Amino acid sequence: MSFPTVNPALNHALAERDYLEPTAVQSAVLVDDAQGRDLLVSAQTGSGKTVAYGLAFAPTLLGEAERFDRPAAPLALVIAPTRELAMQVKGELAWLYAQTGARIASCVGGMDSRAEQRALAAGCHIVVGTPGRLRDHLERGRLDLGSLRVAVLDEADEMLDLGFREDLEFILDATPGERRTLLFSATIPKEIASLARRYQQNALRIDVGGRNEPHGDIEYRAVTMAPHDAERAAVNVLRYFEARASLVFCATREGVRRLHGRLIERGFDAVALSGELSQHDRTNALQSLRDGRSRVCVATDVAARGLDLPDLDLVIHADLPTNKETMLHRSGRTGRAGRKGTSVLLVPFPKRRRAEQLIAAAGVDAGWSDPPSAELIRARDQERLLADPILAEEPVEEDLALARLLLEGRPAEWIASALVRSYRARLPAPEDQFDPAPAAAPRQLGERFVREPRAPQRSAAGGAWFRLSIGRRNNADPKWLIPIICRMGGVTKADIGAIRIFDTDTRFEIAAGSADRFAAAVRGSGEGEARIEPATAGAEARTSGARPGRSYASRKAPRAQRG
């Protein structure tokens, strides 16, 4: 299916960009029934909607002409929720309308308002802006909307989520009543429907898939891990996929700062996006992602609003999303414009049930696995090296001459091993992660699996008892408690004896030879809710909740040594 003829100048621009077939939303807004009408469109981010409404309002702006008249008051207004999306829209419309002589101005927060004022005063055909800055120019008399023929609300649901309803109403109330209004939103909740009823007339409702629907081009995977181990798991997932561009979501700004710092420390080319960044720093971070200088972006949900990275192949949820809408919206940053993408949820063992509920509510199918091991990552690295296109390139004579010099007096294996070392030196080292349950064969990332019951721990004769402030009410389980104990106390699994889990805490035994060192290591330490302290005398034999604790001591251990 080829693009229908909208305007010769625009069709030529599409051909130059190799736009051969319209996307679903582009086809939907160009049907005969949509011509000249208000449109209420539900479409996913990345579905080609900027080009869609650029084509849809072209007849309203140009009529039969191929070029605009002299610029004066704007004929079209596009309102977007964020600076990044507004500038992205301006860039898309610039190439689409390049041969029409269109002058496009932007009015966005964080940019020079005086330069915007001069651009508006000089005249323009299309204005793209954010609600707050557009309202500011209106109130100061710098923006004249009296000649407006089309108003577009892009990602309207995001604008309402960000609290821009009053600004939107102020702007739309300043436009002519006979204008066309094109409203694009990932979903159409009650607030959007109310806005549409107030500012649209006889609108055509178009639904080509919203944010609350799963995306067919995204593969979902869930990676289980011990609590507080998200950073190591994120490192290994990033290394396993080695994606062209990856987006990692954290729940808080502090989480973004911490994970970004850890990734930089480990050698990743990473940037961070949070509300703390200035517009200059934010712009630089996004540009480094787009031109390939950085390959990982760590962000909060709010900071990533309106973010569009065409080459994004991987999304990682370092913190579980709060609801299915957030999960699908995060994941929808990848798998766009016909590309395949992967969305990986990092799931602490106690939150597995919550993750399963999210996945079921979203209507997606996810493969479950452990984090990729260091051995699996190294095997993938070997595959990538052997498949590197540089090894298939025809060498030029200059390179061959240097290669012959290298081979003089050196075995070929030495030269090849130097190539391998050079390749590995560019890659961050994978993390060694605790494997909570031995398996007969390694589990591949994404492979479904069922854990075998863990062998009980043998009680450490004459050991000391300690208390961990996590119990049955926190879904405590030895398979993820043991790595916490080992990491906080600097011991190995062999030093841990009996384990008893109660309602509100867990009691465990440390071998006598390691008890003093363990006690010194955990003194005053804590990982969030996880705190370890010596247990009171006889505590191993008492319960701290209404039900007796479950023992994980070896049945062969003497009764006196069992929890």
> What digits encode the pLDDT tens for the residues 220-236?
999 988 777 889 999 99
Strands 39-42 and 204-207: parallel
Where residue 543 sits, what CATH number does that domain have? Answer: 3.30.70.330
Please name the helix (run of DSSP H) or strand (run of DSSP E) that holds residue 259, with its range, or none.
helix 253-265
C-alpha closest to that of 485 among 550, 531, 541, 435: 531
- Residue in this structure with the two tokens 């450490």, named with its chain if needed: 460
Q: 3-class DSSP state for residue 152?
A: strand
Average pLDDT score over residue span 284-300: 88
Residue 447 pLDDT > 60 = no
Whether residues 323 and 384 fall in one domain? no
Residue 158 lies in a domain: yes
Return the CA Rg of the chain: 29
Whether residues 182 and 37 fall in one domain? yes
Looking at residue 18, its pLDDT comes to 84
Whether residues 197 and 292 fall in one domain? no
- Residue in this structure with the two tokens 């696995």, named with its chain if needed: 369
Average pLDDT score over residue span 269-283: 82
Which of the two residues, 448 and 199, has the higher pLDDT score? 199
Residue 213 lies in a domain: no
Whether residues 13 and 74 fall in one domain? yes
Kindly report, residue by residue over 17-74, the tens digit of the pLDDT: 888 888 888 999 999 999 999 999 988 766 788 999 999 999 999 998 999 999 999 9
Split at pLDDT 50, 70, 90, the class of 276 is confident
Kindly report, residue by residue over 533-562, the tens digit of the pLDDT: 898 755 444 444 434 455 555 333 333 333
Residue type, 426: R
Instruction: List strand residue ranges (DSSP E) for 173-286, in order.
Output: 180-185, 204-207, 218-225, 246-249, 270-273
Residue 94 lies in a domain: yes
Whether residues 59 and 25 fall in one domain? yes
Looking at residue 306, its pLDDT comes to 64
Whether residues 146 and 272 fall in one domain? no
- For 429, phi and psi rounded to 5 degrees? -70, 135
Residue 84 lies in a domain: yes
Is-contact 479 438, C-beta < 8 A?
A: no
Residue 212 lies in a domain: no
Kindly report, residue by residue over 107-148, the tens digit of the pLDDT: 998 788 999 999 999 999 999 999 999 999 999 999 999 999
Cα-based torsion angle of the residue sequence 345, 349, 354, 357 in order, rounded to the nearest 10 degrees: 70
Residue 424 pLDDT > 80 = yes
Residue 445 lies in a domain: no
The DSSP bridge partners found for residue 368 are 222
Whether residues 163 and 110 fall in one domain? yes
Kindly report, residue by residue over 492-534, the tens digit of the pLDDT: 888 898 999 998 889 999 998 889 889 988 886 655 557 898 9
Instruction: Tell me what percent of the residues of the chain surpass a pLDDT of 90.
Output: 42
Distance CA 164, CA 13 (A): 34
Token digits for 497?
């004896």
Whether residues 333 and 394 fall in one domain? no
Average pLDDT score over residue span 2-25: 85
Contacts of 402 (CB under 8 A, 6+ apart): none
Which of the two residues, 449 and 343, has the higher pLDDT score? 343
The DSSP bridge partners found for residue 296 are 246, 270
Token digits for 191?
């607030």
Average pLDDT score over residue span 444-450: 42
Sign of the four-CA dihedral 182, 188, 192, 193? positive
Out of 338, 373, 408, a domain closes at 373
Token digits for 476?
């405590």
How many structural domains compose the chain?
A: 4
Is-contact 385 423, C-beta < 8 A?
A: yes
Q: 3-class DSSP state for residue 297?
A: strand
Out of 174, 207, 240, a domain closes at 207
Whether residues 487 and 550 fall in one domain? yes
Sign of the four-CA dihedral 10, 16, 22, 23? negative
Residue type, 230: A
Whether residues 366 and 381 fall in one domain? no
Looking at residue 14, its pLDDT comes to 92
Distance CA 68, CA 65 (A): 7
Contacts of 94 (CB under 8 A, 6+ apart): 102, 104
CA 65 to each of CA 59, 62, 194: distance values in angstroms, whole numbers, following the listed order: 9, 5, 36
Domain that holds residue 115: 8-207
Whether residues 156 and 16 fall in one domain? yes
Residue 241 lies in a domain: yes
Residue type, 522: V
Whether residues 359 and 396 fall in one domain? no
Distance CA 230, CA 234 (A): 6
CA 422 to each of CA 238, 337, 375, 418, 540: distance values in angstroms, whole numbers, following the listed order: 20, 35, 19, 6, 54
Where residue 14 sits, what CATH number does that domain have? Answer: 3.40.50.300
Residue 528 lies in a domain: yes
Average pLDDT score over residue span 410-423: 86
Is-contact 181 151, C-beta < 8 A?
A: yes
Out of 341, 373, 405, a domain closes at 373
DSSP secondary structure code for residue 499 in this structure = E
